[in-house]
Structure formats: C-alpha cells, structure tokens
Amino acid sequence: MTAILESERKIISQSVHLALVLSVLEYDRKKIEDTSFKIKNVYLNLIEHTMLQVQADLKVIKEDMKKNQLKVQRGKNDGLATEYDFYCRGFHEPHRFYNNSLKSNTQKLLIYYLMRNTE
C-alpha cells in the first residue's frame, strides 16, 4: 500500500503539468518578443492572458498541496523520461514521467487554456 493517495497523486501531477505549460508559454513569449510580427501585441496579449489563467489555477493547486503537506521535486531527465520525487506527510514516492507523455499532456492543457480564451 502506498502512503500517497491517488487523489493526492493527481494534485501533484497537475502541478507538474501546469508548471510545464507555464514554461512553454514563457518560452513562446520570449520568442515572439524577439521576432518581427506585424501585430505582435495580439499574440503577446493572448500568451500573457493565458499565463495569468494558468498561474491562478496553479496557485490553487499549490495551496491544496500545502494544505495536504504535499511537495514535488524534479529529478533527472535521461532523455526518455523525467523523474519527479513526490513527498506527502514525510513519505517519499519516486515517479517517472515519459517525456512523450509530458509533452502530450502539456499540449492538451495548452490547447485547453488557449481555446478557453477564445470563448
């Protein structure tokens, strides 16, 4: 039996994926700033607005994590998978996320947040 409940594991996984979405958006924002678009501000505003929404959701998740004494720490990346260490009330559980899975889930979340902005 594991010390970390499935619901707690889900919260931690959400924090991992949303943090990746933020890093992708930040990277894209910097790239757009450095390139020449005719109407660059439209894209920058969309990205910045999306980042605010992701940050707000991540803040709620981080508060849940703090309330439930949950922590996550990124470990090694061997090119195939990235290790994350989950901590819950003093218990430790190592987890490996395949990089393709991280990328796929990050893309799904990115689409979700960007499409939410168009409504």
Q: Transcribe the chain into DSSP letters.
A: --SS-HHHHHHHHHHHHHHHHHHHHHHHHHHHHHS--TTHHHHHHHHHHHHHHHHHHHHHHHHHHHHTTEEEEEEEE-SSEEEEEEEETTEEEEEEEEHHHHHHHHHHHHHHHHHHHH-
Kindly give the confidence (pLDDT) of every residue in the chain, 119 residues in length, as a single tens digit, with 9 standing for 90 and above.
467 888 999 999 999 999 999 999 999 999 999 988 788 899 999 999 999 999 999 999 999 999 999 999 999 999 999 999 999 988 899 999 999 999 999 999 999 999 886 65
In this predicted structure, what is the pLDDT of residue 2? 65
Instruction: Return the pLDDT at 111.
Output: 94
